[in-house]
Amino acid sequence: MSESCSHDCSNCSKDCSERDFRAHLNEMSNVKKVIGVVSGKGGVGKSLVTGMLSVLANRKGFSTAVLDADITGPSIPKMFGVTKKATCFNDKLIVPSKSKTGIQIMSINLLLENDTDPVVWRGPIIAGAVKQFWTDVVWGEVDYMFVDMPPGTGDVPLTVFQSLPLDGIIIVTSPQDLVSMIVGKAVKMAGMMNIPVLGIVENMSYLTCPDCGKKLNVFGESNIEAVAKSFNIDLIAKLPISPDFARLCDSGNIEDFSGDYLDIMSDTISK
Model confidence band, residue 2 (pLDDT cutoffs 50, 70, 90): very low
pLDDT in tens, 49-60: 999 999 999 999
Can you tell me the mean pLDDT for 83-97? 93
47 and 66 in contact (C-beta within 8 Å)? no
42 and 151 in contact (C-beta within 8 Å)? yes
Model confidence band, residue 19 (pLDDT cutoffs 50, 70, 90): low
Can you tell me the mean pLDDT for 59-67? 97
Whether pLDDT at 199 is above 60: yes
Record the pTM: 0.90
Can you tell me the mean pLDDT for 227-253? 94
Lowest-confidence range among 10-19, 51-60, 146-155, 209-218? 10-19
Residue 135: how many CB atoms within 10 A of its CB?
14
Length of the chain (residues): 271
Lowest-confidence range among 14-23, 125-134, 219-228? 14-23
Mean of per-residue pLDDT scores for the chain: 89
User: Which one-letter amino acid corresponds to residue 57?
Assistant: A
Rounded CA-CA distance 149/135 in Å is 17
pLDDT at 6: 53
Can you tell me the mean pLDDT for 115-138? 92
64 and 143 in contact (C-beta within 8 Å)? yes
Output the furthest CA–CA distance in the chain (Å, rounded): 66
pLDDT in tens, 172-185: 998 876 777 888 88
Whether pLDDT at 139 is above 90: yes
What is each CA distance from 204 to 19, 107, 168, in whole angstroms?
40, 25, 23
Can you tell me the mean pLDDT for 223-241? 92
Can you tell me the mean pLDDT for 39-48? 88
